[in-house]
Amino acid sequence: MKSIYLDNYRGFKEQVIPLLDVNFLVGENSTGKTSFLSAMKVLGSPSFWFNPSFDDPDIHFSSFSEIVSKKSQNKKTFSVGFIHDELDDESKNSLRLITFKNEEGLPVVHKYSFLCPLGLLQQLLKTAALGTSYMKSLTMMSNCHWKVHRGAFD
């Protein structure tokens, strides 16, 4: 991961947080240090990307109201994601983002978003064995932004 993106997540609003080899988290109480570490734990878990859930015993929040930013005017959704870097070619960096909505008090996936360079996207489409149902569920957005509708994963 090169950076983490948090929007309407706990106290964060449209924040891109760069990650270096060594990072120091310094701040007063209740300024987001633990929330950031929780986001890193969730985003760094491969299982999260197949079954997005905040139901982790090490994370002390799982309901939508505990995750969405209390200061935000929009309490309908929040987004978490990261920028993945290709060490050998910075032009192949990509963004992976999941937006959640409130459904019966729990965070439920509303939208998957992927942003990647056109060359990487073309290569993925050439080599991927995507079924017709997945291809129909992909909607081309501007500049290689793909929105995967929830039904594609049901």
> Could you tell me which residue, 11 or 149, shows the higher pLDDT?
11
Q: Which of the four pLDDT bands, split at 50, 70 and 90, describes residue 140?
A: very low
**pLDDT tens readout for residues 46-95:** 888 888 888 777 787 778 999 999 888 889 999 999 887 765 565 567 78
pTM of the model: 0.71
Burial of 138 (0-12, 13-18, 19+ CB in 10 A): middle
Contact assessment for residue 35 and residue 27, using Cβ atoms and an 8 Å cutoff: no
> Could you tell me which residue, 144 or 108, shows the higher pLDDT?
108
Express as a percent the part of the chain with pLDDT over 70: 69
> Could you tell me which residue, 122 or 104, shows the higher pLDDT?
104
> Would the pLDDT of 148 be above 50?
no
The H-or-E segment that residue 6 falls in is strand 3-7
Q: Say which residue the tokens 């991927």 belong to.
A: 128
> Would the pLDDT of 103 be above 90?
yes
Q: Which of 8, 97, 102 is nearest to 63 (CA)?
A: 102
